[in-house]
Amino acid sequence: MKNIKIKETKIIAKGEILLKQGEIAKYGYFVKSGCLKSYAIDKAGKEHIMQFAPESWMISDIDSFTNQVPSLVFIEALEKSEVAIVSKSGFKEIDSLDKESVVDIAIKFRNNLIASNKRIIGLLSATAEQRYMDFTETYPTLTQRLPLKHIASYIGVTPEYLSDIRRKIAEK
Amino acid sequence: MKNIKIKETKIIAKGEILLKQGEIAKYGYFVKSGCLKSYAIDKAGKEHIMQFAPESWMISDIDSFTNQVPSLVFIEALEKSEVAIVSKSGFKEIDSLDKESVVDIAIKFRNNLIASNKRIIGLLSATAEQRYMDFTETYPTLTQRLPLKHIASYIGVTPEYLSDIRRKIAEK
DNA sequence: AATAAAAAATAAGATACCTTAAGAAATGAG
DNA sequence: CTCATTTCTTAAGGTATCTTATTTTTTATT
């Protein structure tokens, strides 16, 4: 029985890429300071942000990390960041971990799943303006900290259109 | 240390509602036969399907079930179904379960999370036509078994537009 | 502070997808 | 088998959002 293994801590420069689409993820990253993002590039070459990971968040492509399949996303630093690297070998089979760690992991997956499901409901049923307002309420800090174009990508609109949305909101 | 408790098995008529938006989920459902769906109703009164649960799938509003918060979705039978009812009391605190059950749950949450994340990527980056083709590939059985309007709701388009899409695909 | 680089705003025209409405086809109840 | 109900199709016009291009503003670098 073991705990999750932390390999080491590392400083990542802004713009540095930690995982590429198509590669198999060897690591997960716990962000100690700064901010990372994960994003997919579609057939038209456009970027779509899946997740932001500011301080105290974990980021990785779980499917690639656990099932050794090609990653669907890139992981990249939006700011100079310090990350703790979680290695695959310390993680491989969930049931080789001690129970306490498994409970932690189950709860993390569950919380992530709840958040992803809420995002799906939003994408299916809310307008871009509603999604933007939800984002600003849910992540007020990120709203101020990140360039608008990244938020646009996360909520699923172009930066130009989000700019329009913001003006309309301001006019009210 | 205990296992997950199954309360009982029940036959559900087509159209019967097992959970309503706004209620607190007391149960989760394991589908033994038939098919259930979960869906949100938006401000405009439109239905958006979150999940289909045919044989051997679990369905519930996890957030409501585990955190005693109002459900975002309805759960309803699409066909006459037989379900095993998982009661809240047998589930309450993850760490009151034996380790084997926790591992099972962690893996289920993880698989669900991976699937939800793929769906988000699709909603952000693929056209309606691509999403429909992905659906037919991923769920060929459901594609034939379910009315088109439900699939339209799941992929996030109107039935009319999905009908157009299908015609365009057929013309190729 | 000056300059370069990145981000944001603005605007006009294009398109994916929606709305409404009506008719055709399929399904289910008696 | 027939009638009623639900589902699917078709089509015209509308809206949300995108594309492309240009200008302005902000941020970063020397």
Mean pLDDT of successive 10-residue stretches along chain B, which has 172 residues: 76 95 96 97 95 97 95 96 85 81 94 98 98 97 97 98 97 80
Classify residue B152: in a domain, yes or no. no
CB contact under 8 A, B123 and A94: no
C1' of D21 to CA of B145 (Å): 48
Classify residue B133: in a domain, yes or no. no
Q: What is the DSSP letter of B45?
A: S
Residue A85 confidence (pLDDT): 95
Classify residue A80: in a domain, yes or no. yes
Q: Which residue has the tokens 């309803």?
A: B76
Residue B119 confidence (pLDDT): 98
Classify residue A134: in a domain, yes or no. no
Domains identified in chain B, total number: 1
Classify residue A166: in a domain, yes or no. no
pLDDT tens-place string over residues A101-143: 999 999 999 999 999 999 999 999 999 999 999 999 999 999 9
Judge whether B138 is closer than 8 Å to chain A, CB to CB: no
SS (H, E, C) B113-131: HHHHHHHHHHHHHCCHHHH
Phi then psi for A103, rounded to 5 degrees? -60, -45
Judge whether A42 is closer than 8 Å to chain B, CB to CB: yes
Residue A96 confidence (pLDDT): 87
Restricting to B residues 7-36, those with a Cβ less than 8 Å away from any Cβ of A are none
Residue A87 confidence (pLDDT): 87
Contact B75, B62 (CB under 8 A): no
Classify residue B162: in a domain, yes or no. no
Q: Which chain A residues contact residue B125 at CB under 8 A? A: 40, 42, 46, 48
Comparing alpha-carbon positions, the chain A residue that sits nearest to B155 is A124
Shortest distance, CA B94 to any CA of chain A (angstroms): 7
B136-161 residues labelled b (16+ CB within 10 A) or e (exposed): eeebeebeeebeeebbbbbbbbeeee
**Helices and strands per DSSP (H, E), number in chain A:** 6, 8
C1' of C10 to CA of A163 (Å): 9
CB contact under 8 A, B113 and A113: yes
Shortest distance, CA A157 to any CA of chain B (angstroms): 8
For A35, the domain range is 6-92
What is the biggest distance separating any 2 CA atoms in chain B, rounded to whole angstroms?
59
Residue B1 confidence (pLDDT): 57
Contact B151, B78 (CB under 8 A): no
CB contact under 8 A, A102 and B106: yes
Q: Which nucleotide is nearest to B126 (CA to C1')?
A: C16
**B134: exposed, middle or buried (Cβ count in 10 Å: 0-12, 13-18, 19+):** middle
Does residue A23 or residue B94 have the better pLDDT?
A: A23
Residue B7 confidence (pLDDT): 74
Mean pLDDT of the A13-29 span: 96
pLDDT of residue A91 exceeding 60, the answer is no
- Cβ of B169 less than 7 A from strand C: no
pLDDT of residue A18 exceeding 60, the answer is yes
pLDDT of residue A6 exceeding 80, the answer is no
Mutate to test the interface with B, among A73, A101, A116 (most CBs of B within 10 A): A116
Contact B51, B38 (CB under 8 A): yes
Please enumerate in sequence order all residues whose Cβ is within 8 A of that of A12, keeping only pairs 6 or more positions apart, or say none: A18, A34, A36, A77, A80, A81, A82, A83
Q: Which residues pair with A48 in a beta bridge?
A: A40
Classify residue A52: in a domain, yes or no. yes
Q: Which chain A residues contact residue B116 at CB under 8 A? A: 113, 116-117, 120
Most confident of A49-53, A83-87, A96-100: A49-53
CATH code assigned at A49 = 2.60.120.10
Judge whether B48 is closer than 8 Å to chain A, CB to CB: yes
Classify residue B171: in a domain, yes or no. no
Residue B172 confidence (pLDDT): 74
- Cβ of A147 less than 7 A from strand C: yes
The beta-carbon neighbor of B120 closest among A50, A100, A109 is: A50
CB contact under 8 A, A62 and B116: no
Judge whether A159 is closer than 8 Å to chain B, CB to CB: no
Judge whether B126 is closer than 8 Å to chain A, CB to CB: yes
Q: Which residue has the tokens 């958006």?
A: B48
Residue A103 confidence (pLDDT): 94
Mean pLDDT of the A71-92 span: 88
Q: Report the candidate in B32, B97, B80 with the shortest Cα–Cα distance to residue B59.
A: B32
pLDDT tens-place string over residues A138-165: 999 999 999 999 999 999 999 999 999 9
